[in-house]
């Protein structure tokens, strides 16, 4: 989910029921009084849960996982070099570094440091957090470096000379803002940023995109496009693929609705004529379209969740000759795709387990063949390395008990070769992975994964942690976590992933089934998984913990208030919780398409049914709950967690709170903070459900 910068300003004016909110004062994110309150309650939580030898040992073991030098350094090809951003014990803020392919394939590559973020932070007295790069092809001489203060979504943009490994004196720079910026050419940027009053949307993102020439003040940049204040954001970019250079403008109307325009040399915009809820992407001569709703084009019907291909120029000229590259079934969904020079790799999920296909463009139906296999109940993914120049690809295989292996291959080049292996951080031989299906309240079949000790006693007494998300069409798939292995499995626990509606496990239909007025379906699904664990005697309410973050933190808030009888303890991370005020907090307005608008009475009627802060009341048997958040989270913001904790504490419930002063929406700004937060959360749950 996406945000807004922090300022020590009074909260927005309120009226109606919210005006009686005793915790409104906590909405001043950076106020001295509020931060003193945060520190006080942080200290209480640390004293209670983070002082024991057991906690300190777990903290150290989790940090060991995060800092391990044996982790796979995933790379991106920029020019003829392979770049990686790397954090470890000696470089907590991180190194941006590079190497050659031949060197990368060695067990111990020799790396050349490009930017030492720890040294830069020290020299500039800033707490920089890496946000990535935008490099100008085809020569890759210049990059835009994105740096965040403390992990917020807002970042500072600075031009960098890549061969010279130094920032460009008097080069392009942008002050801290939630900017969308990309190269048009070496001396021109497309910039959408905070240009001053009226230039941002109600979602706190840029509303105006401009063309900015080198050597001129930002104030003289020429407007390319203006969105509406109620839009989510706008951006512009140039596709610099040799021979297929095109400029595009994107208007993000809402989270799932957008318009994409081709910008001519004269500045004229021509809309790509697809439904607003369809995703489009141009590549060389092709236009790929992913409709999120059933769609009729050229007199033919196409299913939601399909992937369609057309010749770009023909489509823009009005022809509607579409080739179906993927069509979903009851059990399959498109997980993603990636181009190589001559082929398209499809990642497909079948009951939340991956398989790969390689498609080769040709007249009529494209040629198809499989690409590699994966062990049972694991995730396999592949992506082209350089779609302009080669058919090479990287492929990863991972599972709950299988550390990631990275392969390097070439389409039509035989079997890919393993080049990197992630280390094992726990003994996988002790455990089994299984997939189960249960029936939700309305009869829907819901899958979930279970990782448990072999020869598990089905006596209902196993400490079990159930995790979920259920929103924004995001899927939870099999993946390896040394942290979960060490913090939960190695202590004898069972770990469960619930693939509830609202996610993308079965494509757009699975997501739309829990949108807005149907949100409760996601929570019914999560409860159904819990009840199935009881039915199978894996665990029981006093031994069942639940955890989720962001939208999953909202899920946790609702399991607390709607299904308290099912859980022994709950952890809600960087969560939305006050659904009456969420559109006025940080980037909340950008998610109206997901939840609805509480300022409209008809929509508040359903929103209040899943607003944990609204629904928390006295006299209930709520399980103990820990709320974790970050002051520098300018996406969801810390306000929700602060207020929920304050309300529950005032009502006399067993509740705890911890707000990391840094960290952004990820909750932590570096590995040390991340390990501490995770150790705190797992320790809290073990303390209540063992």
**The pairing of beta strand 464-467 with beta strand 494-498:** parallel
Distance CA 401, CA 380 (A): 14
Is residue 485 within 8 Å of 515, Cβ to Cβ?
no
CB burial of residue 277 (10 Å; 0-12, 13-18, 19+): buried
What is the longest distance spanned by two Cα atoms in the chain?
Answer: 72
| End-to-end CA, the chain | 33
Three-state DSSP at 284 gives coil
Query: What residues form DSSP beta bridges with 396?
Result: 381, 406
Q: Which residues pair with 333 in a beta bridge?
A: 349
The token pair that represents 608 in the structure block: 């209040």
User: Which of 646, 499, 626 lies closest to 560, judged by CA?
Assistant: 626
From 398, 481, 550, 656, active-site residue: 550
- Report the alpha-carbon distance of residue 659 to residue 575 in Å, rounded: 12
State phi, psi for 578 to the nearest 5 degrees. -95, 90
According to DSSP, the residues that pair with 382 across neighbouring strands are: 395
């392919």: which residue's tokens?
Answer: 101
Residue 432 burial by Cβ neighbours in a 10 Å radius (0-12, 13-18, 19+): middle
Instruction: Confirm whether 550 is a catalytic residue.
Output: yes
Q: What is 438-455 written as a DSSP string?
A: EE-TTS-EEEEEEEEETT
* Helix axis angle, 32-49 to 671-689, nearest 10°: 60
Query: Are 513 and 521 a contacting pair, CB within 8 Å?
Result: yes
> Which of the 8 DSSP states describes residue 297?
E
Q: For residue 473, what are the CA distances in angstroms to 211, 511, 530? A: 33, 5, 22
- Are residues 141 and 161 in contact, defined by beta-carbon separation less than 8 angstroms? yes
Q: What is the 3-state secondary structure (H, E, C) of 499-544?
A: CCCCCCCCCHHHHHCCCHHHCHHHHHHHHHHHHHHHHCCCCCHHHE
Kindly report the length of the chain. Answer: 690
**Would you call 657 helix, strand, or coil by DSSP?**
strand
Separation between Cα atoms, residue 548 and residue 553, nearest integer Å: 5
Nearest to 337 by CA among 382, 392, 272, 398: 382
Residue 582, both tokens: 């969420």
What tokens does 605 get? 């009627």
Residues forming beta bridges with residue 346, ordered by sequence position:
337, 357
Task: Identify the helix (H) or strand (E) that includes residue 249.
Answer: strand 246-254
Q: Of 584, 665, 674, 688, which residue is the catalytic one?
A: 665
Residues 93-126: b if buried by 16+ CB within 10 A, e if exposed: bbbbbbbebeebeeeebebeebbbbbebbeeeee
* Ordered strands of the 445-453 beta sheet: 431-439, 445-453, 494-498, 464-467, 544-549, 569-573, 625-630, 655-660
- Quick check: 51 and 676 in contact, CB under 8 A? no
Q: Calculate the alpha carbon distances from 258 to 261, 360, 594 in Å.
A: 10, 29, 15
555 φ, ψ to 5°?
Answer: -55, -45
562: its two tokens: 């709607």
Among all residues, which ones are annotated catalytic? 550, 665
């Amino acid at each position: 989910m996406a945000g807004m910068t922090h300022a020590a300003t009074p909260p927005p004016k309120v009226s109606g029921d919210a005006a009686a909110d005793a915790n409104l004062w906590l909405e001043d994110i950076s106020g001295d009084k509020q931060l003193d309150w945060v520190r006080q309650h942080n200290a209480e939580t640390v004293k209670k849960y983070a002082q024991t030898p057991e906690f300190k040992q777990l903290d150290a073991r989790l940090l060991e996982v995060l800092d391990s030098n044996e982790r796979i350094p995933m790379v991106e090809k920029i020019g003829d070099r392979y770049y990686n951003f790397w954090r470890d014990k000696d470089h907590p803020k991180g190194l941006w570094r590079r190497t050659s392919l031949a060197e990368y394939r060695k067990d111990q590559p020799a790396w050349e440091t490009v930017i030492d973020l720890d040294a830069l932070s020290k020299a500039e007295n800033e707490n920089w957090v890496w946000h990535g790069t935008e490099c100008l092809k085809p020569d890759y001489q210049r990059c835009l470096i994105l740096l965040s203060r403390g992990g917020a979504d807002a970042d500072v943009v600075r031009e960098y000379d890549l061969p010279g490994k130094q920032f460009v004196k008097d080069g392009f720079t942008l002050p801290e803002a939630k900017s969308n910026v990309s190269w048009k050419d070496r001396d021109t940027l497309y910039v959408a940023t905070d240009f001053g009053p009226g230039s941002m949307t109600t979602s706190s993102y840029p509303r105006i995109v401009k063309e900015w020439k080198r050597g001129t003040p930002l104030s003289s940049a020429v407007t390319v496009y203006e969105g509406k204040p109620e839009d989510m954001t706008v951006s512009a970019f140039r596709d610099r693929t040799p021979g297929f250079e095109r400029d595009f403008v994107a208007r993000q109307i809402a989270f799932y609705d957008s318009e994409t325009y081709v910008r001519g040399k004269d500045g004229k915009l021509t809309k790509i004529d697809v439904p607003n809820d369809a995703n489009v992407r141009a590549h060389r001569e092709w236009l790929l379209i992913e409709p999120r709703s059933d769609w009729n084009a050229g007199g033919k019907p196409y299913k939601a969740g399909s992937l369609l291909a057309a010749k770009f120029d023909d489509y823009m000229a009005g022809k509607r000759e579409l080739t179906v590259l993927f069509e979903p079934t009851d059990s399959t969904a498109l997980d993603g795709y990636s181009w190589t020079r001559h082929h398209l790799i499809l990642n497909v999920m079948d009951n939340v387990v991956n398989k790969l296909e390689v498609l080769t463009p040709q007249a009529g139906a494209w040629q198809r063949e499989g690409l590699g296999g994966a062990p049972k109940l694991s995730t396999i993914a592949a992506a082209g390395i350089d779609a302009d120049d080669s058919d090479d690809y990287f492929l990863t295989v991972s599972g709950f008990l299988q550390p990631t292996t990275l392969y390097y291959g070439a389409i039509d080049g035989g079997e890919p070769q393993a080049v990197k292996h992630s280390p094992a951080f726990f003994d996988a031989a002790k455990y089994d992975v299984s997939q189960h299906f249960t029936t939700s309240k309305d009869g829907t079949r819901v899958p979930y994964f279970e990782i448990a000790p072999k020869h598990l006693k089905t006596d209902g007494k196993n400490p079990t942690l159930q995790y979920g998300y259920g929103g924004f069409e995001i899927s939870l798939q099999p993946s390896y976590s040394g942290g979960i292995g060490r913090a939960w499995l190695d202590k004898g626990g069972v770990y469960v992933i619930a693939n509830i509606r609202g996610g993308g496990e079965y494509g757009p239909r699975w997501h739309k089934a829990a949108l807005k007025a149907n949100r409760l379906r996601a929570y019914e699904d999560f409860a159904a998984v819990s009840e199935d664990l009881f039915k199978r005697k894996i665990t029981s309410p006093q031994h069942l913990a639940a955890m989720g973050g962001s939208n999953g933190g909202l899920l946790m808030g609702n399991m607390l208030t709607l299904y308290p009888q099912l859980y022994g303890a709950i952890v809600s991370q960087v969560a939305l919780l006050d659904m009456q005020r969420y559109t006025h907090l940080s980037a909340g307005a950008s998610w109206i398409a997901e939840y609805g608008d509480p300022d409209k009475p008809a929509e508040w009627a359903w929103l209040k049914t899943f607003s944990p802060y609204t629904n928390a009341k006295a006299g209930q048997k709520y399980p103990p709950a820990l709320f974790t958040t970050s002051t520098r989270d300018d996406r969801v913001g810390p306000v929700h967690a602060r207020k929920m904790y304050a309300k529950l504490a005032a009502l006399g419930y067993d509740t705890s709170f911890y707000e990391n002063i840094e960290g952004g929406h990820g909750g932590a700004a570096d590995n040390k903070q991340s390990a501490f937060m995770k150790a705190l959360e797992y320790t809290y749950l073990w303390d209540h459900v063992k």
